[in-house]
Amino acid sequence: METFFIIMLVLMIIGAIIAVETKNMLSAVIAAGVVGFGVSVLFLFLKAPDIAITQVIVEVLSLIILIRVTTKADNEAIERKIDSFANIAGLVFVGIFVGFCIWAFVDMTPFGTPLMRVSQHYLSAGLEETGAANTVAAVILDYRAYDTLGEAVVIFTSILGAFVILRSRGKKKIYEEDYVKVGIPE
């Protein structure tokens, strides 16, 4: 099973590199979408059907939003100019981070054997204590319902924020005229 995960991950890395390096924005968005669908397939094989469903749907919606933003013209010209400093700094960062990961992750709990000190209780007593057959639903809406309240507030806030940003005018017109009156002498 682990071999399958590794192959999937390598494919996703290739997809991610294509998404980052391609010149055409639409291809980049679609390559990122491929990585997203790869993630949701992996979720399914990692026995997380809840997350897989959510990931697929969110993927569709984010693709719609991204393509909506992308269809705007002048895309190719920007990438031609190469900012060598930022590129080199980025690559150095990538190297250091991956090296640090390889150094540190030796001590992690091995793949496939989670400690489950707390969550064993959810599995064995979840149905009696909450009445929900879906243990994930029991965790998100009963044991950790406060997190879910926070999550709902996050999306509420960001949609509100997006509407604030999309306003066409920040200040009222009359006050802009006032500024001119006080600020600039005749």
Partner 1 sequence: MVVYILDMVILVIGIYCLIAKRHLIKKIIGMVLMEYSVNLFLILIGYRHNGIAPILMPDENRVHFAQYGVDPLPQALVLTSIVIGLGTLALMAAYAMRLYEKYRTFDMSEIRRLKG
Partner 2 sequence: MKQKDIEQIIHDDHTGMSLIVKTVARMMIAVIILFAFYIILYGHLTPGGGFAGGVILAIAYTLMMLAFSRKMALHKFSDFWASFWDNIGMLAFIILGFLGLNSGYFLYNFIWHGKPFHLVSAGIIPLANIAIGVKVGACLYAIFIGLSIYGRLIIKEEE
Partner 3 sequence: MASVMLPLSVGIPLLSAVLILLIGKAWRNAGALFAPITTLITLVFAIDLLGADAGTYWMGGWPPPFGIVLVLDSVSKVLLLVVNMVAFLASVYAVSYMQKYTAQNKFYALFILMLAGMNGVVLTGDLFNLYVFLEIASIASYALVGFGVEHEELEAGFKYLVLGTIASTMLLVGIAIVYNLTGSVNMADVARFVSGMPPNKALLFALAMFLFGFGLKAGLVPFHAWLPDAHPSAPAPVSAMLSGVLIKAIGVYPLIRITYSVFGAPNIILNLILWLGVISAVVGVFLALGQYDIKRLMAYHSVSQMGYVAIGIGLGTPLGIAAALFHMFNHALFKSLLFLSAGSLESATGTRDLRQMGGLKKKMPITSLATATGSLSIAGVPPFNGFFSKLLIIIAAIMAKQYVAAGVAAFVSLLTLASFTKVMKYSLLGKLNEKYERLKESPVLMAIVLTILSVLCLGVGLFYNYFMDSIFNPAANDLLNQAKYISMVIGG
Q: Does 158 bind partner 1 (CB under 8 A)?
A: yes
Residue reference for tokens 């991204």: 66
What φ, ψ does residue 10 adopt, rounded to 5°?
A: -65, -40
Q: Does 119 bind partner 1 (CB under 8 A)?
A: yes
Q: Does 50 bind partner 3 (CB under 8 A)?
A: no
Minimum Å gap between C-beta 183 and partner 1 is 19
Please count the other Cβ atoms lying within 10 Å of the Cβ belonging to residue 104.
9
Minimum Å gap between C-beta 125 and partner 1 is 9
Binds 66, which of partner 3, partner 1, partner 2, none (CB < 5 to 8 A, cut-off by type)? partner 1
Minimum Å gap between C-beta 26 and partner 3 is 22
Find, among 90, 93, 99, 111, the residue nearest to 9 by Cα: 111
Distance of CA 73 to the CA centre of its chain: 25
Write out the residues near partner 2 by the rule CB under 8 A.
49-50, 52-54, 57-58, 60-61, 64-65, 68-69, 127, 130-134, 136-138, 140-142, 145-146, 148-149, 151-153, 155-156, 159, 162-163, 166-169
Find, among 40, 61, 42, the residue nearest to 52 by Cα: 40
Q: Does 143 bind partner 3 (CB under 8 A)?
A: yes
Q: Does 118 bind partner 3 (CB under 8 A)?
A: yes
Phi-psi region at 48: left, alpha or beta (left = phi > 0; alpha = psi -120 to 50): beta
What angle, rounded to 10 degrees, do the helices at 49-70 and 25-45 form?
180
Q: Does 132 bind partner 3 (CB under 8 A)?
A: no
Binds 94, which of partner 2, partner 1, partner 3, none (CB < 5 to 8 A, cut-off by type)? partner 1
